[in-house]
Every structure is written in structure tokens, then in C-alpha cells.
Structure 1
Amino acid sequence: MPQIQVRGTSHYYEWIKTPKDGEKKPVMVFMHGWGGSSRYWETPAKALSETFDCLLYDMRGFGRSRKLSPVGNGNVLAEESSPLAEEPATAQELTYEMEEYADDLAGLLETLQCDRVYVNAHSMGASVAVFFLNRYPELVEKAILTCSGVFEYDEKAFKAFHKFGGYVVKFRPRWLYQLPLVDQMFMKRFVHRPLPSAISRAFLDDFLMADYQAAVGTMITSVSEKAAQVMPNEFAKLTVPTLIVAGEYDIIIPAAMGRVAAGLSDKVEYVEIPDTAHFPMLEAPEAYLKVVQEFLGIGTERSFDQTVAS
């Protein structure tokens, strides 16, 4: 399992490439959302690998880049009494702010000697990507932000969300994974079209195994008063050509939020994919691929084969 040290922490990464007569291809880096991992980007990456060398990585604390927090009785993954309980400090005292994750990506690209890339990011990963685009515009050709946008701050709703989310993250018994159809129930809120069981089970597994502090920390920083205030300015500052792709029935990040974000900069285009929700690249893969190709001005013979590595 390939791991690389980035800013003092170990990150999982992998390449998906299709050799093309020794031709050097541009790099597209894929960024996953909250509680997930790069696994769900594997089939989209394969579909684009004729044109790009595709770099997938798991963000700090998630997927195969997790640094497990202390566990309690073995039935749950973490028993911290506080959502942001103190953990052993890293050499660089990293936090769970979106800007820090943007700096993680810059460190990854520097370590792998990737000069200028295309970015394809989803959900929370797209929020990180917006900061990355503004902090390191010289490193990016174009960006695709799937299920991203801006939202208004609601103190009461945000506090309730953080409290409920903290409980959900704290109590994640592994035996849930063994229950029949639990993966479909877990994904029901996120999709309009059902996904193959292998993909749904991978999502559930990633959520159950995510590091406690990273899961709670990023939940608080990505959905916060600061984020509501800062993100509109970040979208307005974009200088990198960017496409926002929204799902028509997304209730996690409603399409309206994406439309608002796209209206803040003439560098941002907006496309909405019908009959999809929070994972349009998996719910309507061919439509998603076409939208991405048109934005990038490319064509490919590859299509999606919806499988995921276990």
C-alpha cells in the first residue's frame, strides 16, 4: 500500500495510468469528500486515464491515511469525551481547517514532483480545493468541483448539526457493517439513484474507519460560521477556470448553493446533472464524464465500469 510522508503525516496515494506510447500526460488529482476515501474516484479516474495520469489520495485522517484515535471498549472506534479531544501533536501542529488540507495537497504535489495539475474534487474535498486554487493558482490548469457551493450561517441549525454529527461519529460500531442492506440505508440520504452494493459498502467502511478527530474536526470547520463568511470571498477570488457540477436532488449541498457560488466569479461555469444527488459521477457516470470532457475540451473512448476496489 503506497504511503508518502506529507507535512509530517503519512498519506495513502495511488496512480491510475493508461500507457500511451511513452507520451507524458498531464496529471489530474482527485479529492474525496467528508468521511470517504479516494476509492470512490477509481472508476471516474479510469475513464479519464486515456488523457490524464490520475493521482488519487486519501486526505489526512480518512481512508488509508487515517491515524486512529484511541479506542475504548472495542465496539466503537473512539470514546473521546470532547469532539476535539487533545491528540499527540505532530511536528507541524496540523489542524483540521480547510486551508491546512489545501497545504497538505501542495505538499503532496511537491513531494511527488507534480508541477501543474488538473483538480477534480468532491464535497468537502471541493471546499479544500477552492482554498488550494487561491493559495496555489500557479499549480493548477483547470478545476472541477462536484457538489460544492456557499451557504448562509444559521447558528441554531449549525450547533444542532455539530452536536448530532458528533454523536454519529463517536458511536460507530463495526458490527453495523455486517447487517444486511445497511450499506443501502447508509447511502440513501446521499443518492437519488441506488449504487451497486460494492460501492455502497466501501462508503460505509470508509465512514466507520475514519479517524475520530479528523471526522469531527473537519465537520466543524467545513460547516461553520467562518466557512459561511469566507467561502463566498474564496469563490469570488478564483482565477483558475473552474466547473461546478451539481446533482439536481442533492440535499447535502443543494444545487442552489452551487449556482450561487458559480455566480460569484466569471471564471466559474455551472452544470446540473438531472436525476442525481450528492454523487452524480457515480449515479449518472456517462453524463458526468460528458460534462467533464466538454469543460476540458477533450474526448475519450473510455466509459465507466462501476466497480470499486475492496
Structure 2
Amino acid sequence: MLGGVQIQTFQAAQATLHIQKTGVGPPVVLIHGLSGSSRWWRHNVPALSQEHQVFVLDLAGYGRAWRQRALSVQAASRLIADWLVAEDLVEVTLVGHSMGGHIALRVAALLPERVDRLVLACASGLLKTSPTRAALRLPHAMLVGRPSFVPRIMADALRAGPMNLWHGASDLLRDSVQDLLPQVSARTLVIWGTRDVLVPVALGRTLAAAIPGAKYHEIPRAGHVVMVDAPAAFNRLVLSFMKESEAV
């Protein structure tokens, strides 16, 4: 244990998840996006771990698991599903940002009996563009986000490396979740930043409308990294959603 945080790894199919676990209670799994890392959730873990056991992932190829090739969206989803089964985690809440939300949707489709709730933050999965066009939006995205977070974005992108980022972006833009959405059985909350220039708000509304019973919220003045730009509002929405769904 390091300061109340337990460090774990899980390996399957020659890929490794790096996992940080803290707190006690129903399981919540935080999945970062393309070029991200577990550090992107540092403003959220303290609030979520007060009443939940929180698992913060570094996906293969990113963060503390950077010394390997990044997996495709579908391969990363299978790896997380294998880990959930190995840990025998049930009634799980998956919280995914951007590519992490895309992955969370696929995990929920693989294990509907284990995934009880989904929180999709500025999730990819419906985005239709090219990796080059997406990359051209990055400077604008950083300008509308929290300035103090830009060094973390740059450090994690450098750690992941250009090949992982290019292959990851190309893969997620080819992988649509459109056909999965009407079949989602997990209770779902979709959260978007009104100033998201990477995955536009219109896609968030479309995503939520296609998931049966999904709730949708926009956070004013927040950009793509919504849980960093507006952590207090984000945490409030997530905690309220989990309390409401537990009462159902």
C-alpha cells in the first residue's frame, strides 16, 4: 500500500493493465482516453473513493503502462473484461473519458451481467473524421481547457509516443459503437463539456438519445477533459447518479 493506494497489474494476451485501487464500497472503474493516464482523474478519486472502491486504470501503452504497444479499442475492452472476471467484480460502475468511454461501452456489451452503470464523459465512438483533422483540433482544445493541465497532457502524450497515438486515433475512428447503443442495458449518464472541440456536443446528445433511459448533462465552459476542467460539477453529477441508481 502506498498512501492508502494499492498498486496492481493484470496481464493477459501479452498486454498489461496498471491498476490503482483505493477506498471501500461498490466498485467504480475509471478509464482514461487517448494519450491520457490515471493522473487525469486526480481531482475525482478523492470524492468518489469516500463511498466506493475506486480502480484507476492505466491502459496498455499509456501512463504507468507505457512500455508496450497500445491496444485497439476492442482489444482493450476484452482485457478489461478479463480483469473484471478475474477479480470477480460485480455491480460495477464504469466511468470512461473520450476513448475510455468508447471502451467502457464495449466492456458493458461484453459483460452486461457485471456492468451496472456507465458514465460516459465526452466519449468517442460516434466521431467521424480523420486522425489528421482530429490532430489539427488539439491546439484549440488545449486553449479552451484548463491551462494548468496542459503540461500533464503534453507529458502523457510524449510518454505514450507518436506511434501509439497515431494507431490509437486511427483505430478508434474506425470503430463505431452506433449499433451497440440501443442494446445498452446499464444505467447510463452522459456528461459533456459545452466547449468540447474534439468530440462536439452534438455527438454527446446523439449518443445519449440512442441509449435507452440515458441521462444527459452538459457542463458550461468545460472543454473536452471535462472532469479536469470542472471537477466539482463532474463529481457532483457522478455521485448523484450513483445514489439515484442505487435507490432504483
Task: State the TM-score, normalized to the length of structure 2.
Answer: 0.85
Matched, 1:238 2:190: no
Matched, 1:40 2:44: no
Relative to structure 1, is the Cα distance of residues 232 and 42 closer, same or farther in structure 2, using a 3 angstrom cutoff?
same
Alignment match, 1:251: 197
Alignment match, 1:200: 150
Q: Which amino acid aligns with 1:158?
A: S
User: Structure 1, unaligned stretches of length 5 or more?
Assistant: 18-23, 70-94, 169-185, 299-310
- Structure number with higher relative contact order (C-alpha < 8 Å, ≥ 6 residues apart): 1
Deviations 1:209-237 (A, max 9, x none): 1054432222111112xx3xx32111222
1:109-258 to 2 correspondences below 5 Å: 109-148=84-123, 151=126, 153=128, 158=130, 160-161=132-133, 189-190=141-142, 192-196=144-148, 199-224=149-174, 227=175, 230-258=176-204
1:9 alignment partner, one of 11, 15, 39 = 15
- Does structure 2 conserve the Cα–Cα contact (< 8 Å) formed by 1:96 and 1:218? yes
Higher share in strand: 2
SS in 1 for 2:180: helix
Percentage identity across aligned positions?
22
Return the offset for 1:130.
0.8
1:275 alignment partner, one of 203, 221, 238 = 221
Task: State the TM-score, normalized to the length of structure 1.
Answer: 0.69
Return the offset for 1:256.
0.8
1 CA distance for matches of 2:47 and 2:39? 14
Which stretch of structure 1 is more off in the superposition, 134-143 or 111-120?
A: 111-120
Relative to structure 1, is the Cα distance of residues 109 and 220 closer, same or farther in structure 2, using a 3 angstrom cutoff?
same
Deviations 1:125-182 (A, max 9, x none): 11111111111111111110000255464xxx527438xx5xx9xxxxxxxxxxxxxx
- Does structure 1 conserve the Cα–Cα contact (< 8 Å) formed by 2:145 and 2:224? no
How large is the Cα RMSD of the aligned pairs?
Answer: 2.4
- Does structure 1 conserve the Cα–Cα contact (< 8 Å) formed by 2:31 and 2:101? yes
Relative to structure 1, is the Cα distance of residues 159 and 116 closer, same or farther in structure 2, using a 3 angstrom cutoff?
closer
User: Structure 2, unaligned stretches of length 5 or more?
Assistant: 1-6
Deviations 1:281-310 (A, max 9, x none): 111111112211221126xxxxxxxxxxxx
Q: Which amino acid aligns with 1:140?
A: V
SS in 1 for 2:165: helix
- Number of residues of Structure 1 aligned to a counterpart in Structure 2: 237
- Does structure 1 conserve the Cα–Cα contact (< 8 Å) formed by 2:140 and 2:197? no
1:15-54 to 2 correspondences below 5 Å: 15-17=21-23, 25-54=25-54
Alignment match, 1:266: 212
Deviations 1:100-139 (A, max 9, x none): 1111111222333423311111000111111111111111
- Does structure 2 conserve the Cα–Cα contact (< 8 Å) formed by 1:126 and 1:146? yes
Alignment match, 2:75: 100
1:73-84 to 2 correspondences below 5 Å: none
1 CA distance for matches of 2:178 and 2:43? 31
1 CA distance for matches of 2:127 and 2:179? 13
User: Between Structure 1 and Structure 2, whose CA radius of gyration is higher?
Assistant: 1
- Does structure 1 conserve the Cα–Cα contact (< 8 Å) formed by 2:219 and 2:233? yes
Q: Which amino acid aligns with 1:246?
A: W
